[in-house]
A and B are shown apart, each in its own frame.
Chain A
Amino acid sequence: MRIVRNTVDVTNVALSGVGGQGVLTLAEVLAKAAMLDGHNVRVGEIHGMAQRGGHVLCTIRIGEHAKGPIIDPGTAHLVVGFEPIETLREIHLVAPNGCVIMSSHILLPVAVSMDQGTYPDHDAIMSATKRFTTNVIEFDAMELAEKAGSPNSLNMVMLGAIISTELVPVTKDSALQSLYDTVPQQFQQVNSAAFNLGFAQVGGMLRL
């Protein structure tokens, strides 16, 4: 058997957020969508202690030669941050020409409320992000999720945004199909509305 050069054809996506925001669900929906489009995938996730309202990182790798689940620093084509400082926490993963999608809605860590740390201001967050890549797409995904009908649909807003960038080899149809396959029926309308709002939001920003 031969080892083929295998790291060039793989698309790396890192999802960073807070436990409870639906990060793992988004990873599963996106991975299943990639499979519908005929791709090989790997998803890396951490369960248990790591999920109790703390920082969550989930990785998705799409491409024939994706083997392991892990994305090294400087190799993510897309970093998707569900919250500003959670985006910063994993920003080192982004490739120099990679893209960042960041929701601007802030979830204050308990440490800040207990006066054990200060939340950086918006300018500091943006300038720190841009030291890693200049391709930053920022919008309030929580506002769109609420508009769609539930703050719980935030992750599907992010899915729409991801597909809209065209950086991931997944079609819009497959993404929606995967959403319908995964989300219970009573929540499908809200979640597909959220998907479409995220898709349109990023589409509009990229056209500008």
Chain B
Amino acid sequence: MRLCSLYHKIDTQSPVQALLGPVLHRAHDNLTKPTELLEDNPGKRILLLGNEAIARGVLEAGVRLVAVYPGTPSSEIGNNLTAIATRIPDFYFEFSTNEKVAMEVAGAAAVAGVRSMIACKGPGLNVAADPFLSLAYVGVRGGMVVVVADDPSMWSSQNENDSRYYALMANTPMLEPSDPVEAKSMLIEAFDISEKLELPVLYRTTTRVSHTRAPVELGPMRDRVSTVKFDKDPFRFVPIPSVAYKRHPWLLQQIEKARRISEETSLNYRIGEGELGIITSGVAFNYAIEAVSTLGLKAEILKLGMTHPLPERKISDFLQEHTKVVVVEELEPFLETQVRRVAQLNHIVVTILGKEQGYFPRTYEYTPRTVIEGLAKILNRNTPINWQQIDSKAEELSSLPSRPPLLCAGCPHRATYYAIRVATRGKAIYPSDIGCYTLSIAPPLETADILFDMGSSITTACGIARVTDQDVVATIGDSTFFASGLPGIVDAVYNRHPISVVVLDNRTTAMTGQQPHPGTGLTGMQEKVSPIDIVDVCKGLGVNYVRMVRPFDSMATLVSEIREMVAWVRENKQPAVLVSREPCALLAAIDRQQTGTPPHPYRVNSDLCNACKRCLHRLSCPAMYFDSETNKAVVDETLCNECGICAAVCPQGAINRED
């Protein structure tokens, strides 16, 4: 019996630390061996992911401190740095609690006088926007780069917000690399620019920069200082109104200096020749080059690597030399608006074409085709490939059965969500949060009803509980709980919101590649420390009902735990927390592999299976399928992760574990 109620002293250390082993191995389990990034061999070319190139750039730029919160498509930056951090002299790396924390840790290091960096995904910069805007006012003494990875097409994000607007709002310089080669080389320039201007530099990638592999040439590495002395200057670094009053004009003055850098830097350059002009930045530059050559056009491209402040003179010269200028950029018309502004200010007669007239879309990531079709429409030409014909042939294949991402075979969340549905008969409201578990939106689990951002499961539950009389059961992952669940718990306790919260504690940050978090007992520097237990945290914050359950121990117990919690909340009109603790199936599988544990997959006894399909219809486990020849359910033994939930839901008792 491993159930722990708040009335019993629970042993938080041993079960937690017993689960720690596999966590040590996963955060850097990607293909390019992270140690290759340490090679002191300038001139050598290796195949690097854009994010790996940024990690290498950290070494070549002599960055002293890096703080990140993982988020796709930025995650591999941290994964690679944590794997090599202990082997870099005078280097500190941390997985911060969230992006705001990361911005403040890195920002303070840069104020103290060393080079520092933060990396996050687009929505992460939203979380960190408050300190970012203040940092621009007070400025930094060591170079600071803010890496933000946007996600056009929303491959792994809740929106495709265009983070470039933060450069305008904060008034910070911005660089946009277009491929893995630039991801490294421009990072080094970003630090130089930051130090020249004493401003943090926004460094914006997109999925197709961060997640493209290309040959990258290694450069020389730079040493870091061990420590610096913090020189006090409170009337610069404490932006009380009278200080901020003086810093804002300073900031505008710095951004004018930045504009001169933008005019002179080789990051903003022209390529090609022809009457047609194209202005582009980021990954879209590659598609523009490919489109020009595919269409056999004569065109000149102005490629912008520094996109804030823009080189207005360079742009104005370019506009004057071409009668027609096309702006090619993903997402919002960020450059396009500025280019139109430059034309108007300089009274230039030129046709500027882009998103405003509908030649290019504002949604989803671009492809060479997007640019070819846009240019073909502008120039009134045919595309070299008849894509309409291919599209209509592909349309006929639209009835293929879909294969969306799913909770893995053996995922403990499947057991918990199944139990939540059973216990509440599917009738409660289920606020969800950011992580693998948001996949429970799909049938048959269907336990995600509302989601805004990290941590919103708890707070949206509060809002819903106040204006409905329905039961509210929120689910949140362990890493997300630490990242931004705590203020929600405090709100629920203090304001007595009647909500049930299930913390899906799978001992890792699973979605982004198994990074540690404050509950795991491992740091970004690979140090073992005391994990912070979520049960203790909730009790400490004043939650009067906190219990812990192991979801694979007994389905009946799991269901009754949830039922009891919901009943308690209804009666006591205050929040309750149930921590459902079981390591991520991927960790468990790796653990088995590493310890050489022989597989004991589950198997369907076809004599007992009566083809009721309850296992398939209620669990949607990717390791199970229905064999239409034998008319029986089958467990694919190569995919089974041995959780046994199928055995628990089978009314015939037909599913058993192999000996």
Residues of A within 8 A of B (CB): 1-7, 18-20, 24-25, 27-28, 31-32, 35, 40-55, 65, 67-70, 72-75, 85-86, 88-89, 91-92, 108-120, 128, 131-132, 151, 182
Contacts and interface: CB of A to CB of B under 8 A. Distances in A.
Considering the complex of A and B, which 9 residue pairs feature the smallest CB-CB distances, nearest first?
A: A117-B401, A48-B72, A48-B156, A68-B286, A54-B405, A52-B405, A43-B213, A67-B286, A3-B272
B294 interface: yes
B293 to A, nearest CB: 5
Nearest to A118: B401
Contact of B273 (A2, A42, A73, A108): A2
18 contacts: A2-B272, A3-B272, A35-B215, A42-B213, A44-B208, A44-B212, A46-B207, A48-B155, A65-B293, A68-B179, A70-B367, A70-B368, A73-B385, A92-B390, A112-B625, A116-B443, A132-B390, A182-B31
Interface stretch (B137-145, B165-173, B391-399, B560-568): B391-399
Interface in B347-393: 367-369, 372, 385-387, 390-391, 393
Interface in B416-445: 436, 439, 443-444
B292 interface: yes
B390 A74 contact: yes
Contact of A116 (B213, B271, B401): B401
A68 B616 contact: no
A42 B575 CA distance: 51
B158 to A, nearest CB: 10
Nearest to B409: A53
A108 B543 CA distance: 45
B448 interface: no
A151 to B, nearest CB: 5
Given A41-B215, A53-B622, A92-B394, 12 more contacts: A1-B272, A35-B47, A41-B214, A53-B403, A54-B404, A72-B367, A74-B386, A89-B403, A111-B402, A112-B625, A114-B620, A128-B396
A6 B369 contact: no
A118 B620 CA distance: 16
A128 B396 CA distance: 9
B296 interface: yes
A6 B293 contact: yes
Contacts of A91: 394, 397
A74 B32 CA distance: 31
A96 to B, nearest CB: 9
Nearest to B292: A3
Given A43-B212, A50-B155, A25 B408 contact: no
B406 interface: yes
Q: Which of B72, B76, B299, B622 has the most CB of A within 10 A?
A: B622
B159 to A, nearest CB: 13
Contacts of A86: 403
Nearest to A89: B400
A92 B396 CA distance: 11
A206 B156 CA distance: 40
A46 B396 contact: no
Given A18-B403, A49-B405, A73-B394, A7 B47 contact: no
B301 interface: yes
A136 B620 CA distance: 33
Given A68-B208, A92-B393, A128-B397, A48 B75 contact: yes
A195 B575 CA distance: 57
B523 interface: no
A162 B620 CA distance: 34
B215 A40 contact: yes
Interface string B255-285: 0000000000000011111000000000100
B368 A31 contact: no
Contacts of B390: 73-74, 92, 132
Contacts of B299: 3
Contacts of A25: 31
Contacts of A113: 613, 616, 620, 624-626
B440 to A, nearest CB: 12
Contacts of B155: 46-50
B47 A85 contact: no
A85 B400 contact: yes
Nearest to A120: B400
A111 B393 contact: no
A130 B397 CA distance: 13
A44 B403 CA distance: 20
B247 interface: no
A86 to B, nearest CB: 7
Given A48-B155, A54-B403, A128-B397, A31 B213 contact: yes
Contacts of A40: 214-215
A28 B213 contact: yes
B156 A88 contact: no
Contacts of A55: 403-404
Contact of A88 (B270, B372, B397): B397
Contact of B406 (A1, A52, A85): A52
Contacts of A53: 403, 405-406, 408-409, 622
B287 interface: yes
A67 B209 CA distance: 11
Contact of A131 (B76, B286, B393, B625): B393
B293 A5 contact: yes
Nearest to B273: A2
A25 B29 CA distance: 12
